Amino acid sequence: MLRLAIKAPLLAFFATSTSFGIRSQSYGEVLSSDNPGEGNPRSAWRQSWQGRRGARIPTWLLPRFEIHDVRDDPSKGRMTRIAVDKKQLLFLQYPQLGPRKMDPNDDTPQFDFDRRISVRLRHMDLAGLVSVVEGRVESHAMKNNAYDLVFEKTSEGGYVLSGTIQRATSDKPEPWSVHFDSHFGVTIEHFLQNALTESFGFMRFQERALSRNDEGRSTGGRRWNYGPNRRRGNGDDDNRSSLQRQQTIE
């Protein structure tokens, strides 16, 4: 059984139509509240991490979504977490811990958070994955001393990230893959596109440029000078320069 848990404070991501439940799990404990306040572990973690430049934030505090694949055979079950850390994309997998839980009030962890597989992609790979979901390229390959992976679209309309990874405790590469089928394919499309837009500041730049353009129009275009003629000046300057050249030629 597959379950999707989304926790992505990406502004544009909220504009998409989603009806998935929100479920937050830290390493070995379940957080039942997302509201700030006293006694909320999530709020306490945020406060403790504020002001620590260069500190790596836990993935459960990052924009992310999760795929919970719980199986009757625990060896085949896993939870996949996809998160955005600044300009880098993270893929983490946790194996299923024990049989499927039947009691919804059982707070025993369903997945083993101490035995994770973590793959951190480069910032340029985030743009490469977006190119695949937008249909600009058929696939995007990524390779270094830790992994050799390819992200591509499947014949069923979903996506797959597959290849080999190299564990730090092993000398041999092992096969590894993440599948995004049916509605998970649509989810990864929206997540990647909005992650690229917000991580690289494209949306903020566009909003800032539009606000300055509006202010420039309100002042007659003399204060702000954005757009195609930014370096060459506004239209009046171009007309004056053209007139001066004509007078020089005459």
pLDDT digits (tens, 9 = 90+) for 160-182: 999 999 888 888 899 999 999 88
Answer whether residue 87 shows pLDDT above 60: yes
Task: Note the pTM of the prediction, 2 decimals.
Answer: 0.58
Per-position b or e across 85-104, b if 16+ CB within 10 A of its CB:
bebebbbbbbbbbeeeeeee
- How far from each other are the two terminal CA atoms of the chain, in whole angstroms? 82
Answer whether residue 10 shows pLDDT above 70: no
- In the predicted model, what is the mean pLDDT of residues 184-194? 90
Mean pLDDT of the chain: 70
**Looking at per-residue confidence, does 218 or 61 come out higher?**
61
Name the helix (H) or strand (E) containing 164: strand 159-165
Residue 220: its pLDDT value, please?
56
- The fold of the 2-121+178-200 domain, in CATH, is Transcriptional Co-activator pc4; Chain A (2.30.31)
Residue 49: its pLDDT value, please?
44
Domain positions in the chain: 2-121+178-200, 204-249
